[in-house]
């Protein structure tokens, strides 16, 4: 089996970009690396492809250490964000280029290129040059050049990030169904958390030096191990409040240190937080778990209501973003676009206390896992 293994990988220049990274991607697994720009995602792919040399560590593909092999001897294929197409060659010749380099028979090249072109629905375009096709078609051409190589690992570097929303959606759907990507280890890099959640068999959230968390989509989104993960998986971004834990009338409260806002801690979290005593915590609640209370609406016992004043209301089609001030604290909530709110309008916000996160303010570690 062509399993891809990374052991103790290090790469840095003036500072470590990748610091003792360990990772295993199984044959047939679609592994997505997500994280902000400049965190080392592309560097990881370049190390695997042989375009960069690691300072330390090993890269093993199919049981063979390829760490010091030149790129042309590594059975990997990489798609670049910038397409990297040859402008003077046709779509056909661009896709065929890795096969030509291996001097395969002409009939085999013809068959494999056309099979991939039909798969990606660009077969009518094979005689055109890159300047004569659209951005989405260029990306399909670049992807076709990668797929036709039949490598032991695919490396996809933000392949659809700069395309328009419709084409991104279409290509994401194709990634789900492309059999070639499901036969070998694939690493897909993106800064878009929705792509990661949609595509990944597993997701690695990249942070300073390496992975902050690796897991399935539901696990990474619903059970972030660190504040960094919580902040980079979700849009709008999670509400973050620096709080002090305090007991009052037998209940444990998280009191915002810069306002009068105080939110009760839900029962399931109390036992885990009791060890923190009256210490500081970083309180996190996603906007999806803060809602506007409508007149006559029934609330659950675990929803805490706060009086607030609207500072921004932004309708976005199927939902709206509402930002409000509650006791001096700023809170972002999601709302129905059918109910419009004006700046300065008073609203009641319901916080689902069972969906709150509590992080260590120093390490960022999730305290309630």
The Cα-based distances of 59 to 10, 11, 62, 100 in angstroms read: 11, 13, 10, 27
Structural domain 239-359, CATH architecture: Beta Barrel (2.40)
Every domain of the chain and the residues it spans: 4-227, 239-359
Cα separation of the two ends of the chain: 35
Tens digit of pLDDT for each residue in 269-325?
988 887 655 589 999 999 999 999 988 888 888 899 999 999 999 999 999 999 999
**Looking at the predicted structure, is the pLDDT value of residue 217 above 80?**
yes
Ramachandran quadrant class, 62 (left: phi over 0; alpha: psi -120 to 50; beta: rest):
left
Which of 56, 61, 70, 65 has its CA nearest to residue 18?
56
pLDDT value of position 172: 84
Give residue-wise pLDDT tens across range 133-150. Answer: 998 889 889 889 988 988
Convert the pLDDT of each residue in 119-136 to its tens digit.
Answer: 888 999 999 999 999 988
| pLDDT tens-digit readout, 157-168 | 988 877 778 878
What pLDDT does residue 1 have? Answer: 58
Q: What's the whole-number mean pLDDT along residues 28-48? A: 94
The C-alpha atoms of residue 246 and residue 86 are separated, in whole angstroms, by: 64
pLDDT of residue 276: 56
Instruction: Tell me the fold of 4-227.
Output: Rossmann fold (3.40.50)
φ, ψ of residue 153 in degrees (nearest 5): -155, 140
83/139 Cα distance (integer angstroms)? 6
Q: Kindly provide the residue ranges of all beta strands, DSSP E only, lying in the chain, ordered along the sequence.
A: 4-12, 16-25, 30-34, 56-61, 64-65, 76-79, 153-157, 185-190, 202-207, 210-215, 239-248, 251-256, 262-264, 280-285, 290-292, 303-315, 320-326, 329-335, 346-352, 357-359
Confidence of residue 81 (pLDDT cuts 50, 70, 90): confident
Query: Would you state the pLDDT for residue 76?
Result: 93
């Amino acid at each position: 089996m062509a399993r891809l293994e990374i052991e103790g990988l290090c790469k840095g220049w003036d500072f470590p970009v990748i610091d003792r990274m360990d990772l295993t991607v199984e044959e047939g697994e679609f592994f997505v690396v997500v994280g902000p720009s400049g965190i080392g995602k592309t560097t990881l792919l370049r190390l695997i492809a042989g375009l960069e040399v690691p300072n330390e560590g090993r890269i093993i593909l199919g049981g063979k250490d390829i760490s010091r092999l030149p790129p042309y001897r590594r059975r990997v294929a990489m798609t670049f964000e910038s397409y990297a197409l040859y402008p003077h060659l046709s779509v056909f010749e661009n896709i065929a280029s890795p096969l030509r380099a291996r001097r395969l028979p002409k009939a085999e090249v013809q068959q494999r290129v056309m099979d991939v072109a039909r798969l990606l629905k660009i077969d009518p375009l094979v005689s055109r040059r890159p300047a004569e096709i659209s951005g989405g078609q260029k990306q399909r051409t670049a992807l076709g050049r990668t797929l036709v190589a039949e490598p032991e690992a695919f490396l996809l570097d933000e392949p659809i990030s700069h395309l328009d929303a419709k084409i991104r959606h279409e290509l994401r759907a194709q990634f789900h169904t492309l059999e070639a990507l499901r036969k070998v280890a694939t690493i897909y890099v993106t800064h878009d958390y929705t792509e990661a959640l949609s595509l990944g068999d597993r997701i690695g959230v990249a942070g300073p030096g390496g992975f902050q968390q690796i897991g399935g989509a539901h696990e990474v989104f619903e059970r972030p191990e660190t504040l960094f993960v919580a902040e980079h998986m979700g849009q709008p971004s999670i509400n973050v409040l620096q709080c002090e834990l305090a007991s009052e009338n037998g209940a444990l409260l998280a009191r915002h240190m810069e306002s009068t806002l105080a939110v009760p801690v839900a029962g399931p979290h109390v036992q885990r937080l009791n060890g923190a005593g009256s210490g500081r915590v970083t309180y996190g609640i996603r906007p999806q778990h803060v809602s506007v209370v409508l007149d006559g609406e029934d609330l659950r016992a675990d929803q805490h209501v706060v009086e607030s004043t609207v500072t921004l209301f932004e309708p976005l089609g199927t939902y709206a973003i509402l930002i409000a001030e509650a006791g001096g604290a700023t809170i972002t909530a999601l709302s129905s676009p059918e109910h419009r709110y004006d700046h300065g309008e008073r609203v009641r916000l319901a916080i689902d206390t069972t969906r709150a996160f509590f992080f260590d303010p120093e390490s960022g570690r999730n305290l309630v896992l």
